[in-house]
Amino acid sequence: MYEEATITDQVQVVLDKLRPFLLRDGGDCELVDVDEGIVKLRLLGACGTCPSSTITLKAGIERALVEEVPGIVEVEQVF
């Protein structure tokens, strides 16, 4: 029988779709945790030091996750 993907698996699928755009600019992200609808991400490479990283995180990654993964309400950056 088909096993339903966990919320963490669903988040990872969305991040994998976004990853090529981050890599193109020399960055990446790492999923640290998903807890009560809050996704915790670590920005890597150029994304970790980019002045636009907050915009990338909130307007790009967070928007995609909230739209595509039921139950996700926010994305936080961890260091």
Residue with tokens 């991040």: 15
What integer pLDDT is reported at residue 5 of this predicted model? 80
Domain boundaries, the chain: 7-77
Interval 7-20: pLDDT, tens: 999 999 999 999 99
CATH 3.50.50.60 fits 7-77, yes or no: no
What integer pLDDT is reported at residue 4 of this predicted model? 64
What integer pLDDT is reported at residue 13 of this predicted model? 97
Tokens of 50: 């980019």
Computed from CA positions of residues 21, 25, 28, 34, in that sequence, does the dihedral angle turn out positive or negative? negative
Output the pTM of the full model. Answer: 0.89
Interval 23-65: pLDDT, tens: 998 999 999 999 999 999 999 998 888 888 888 888 899 999 9
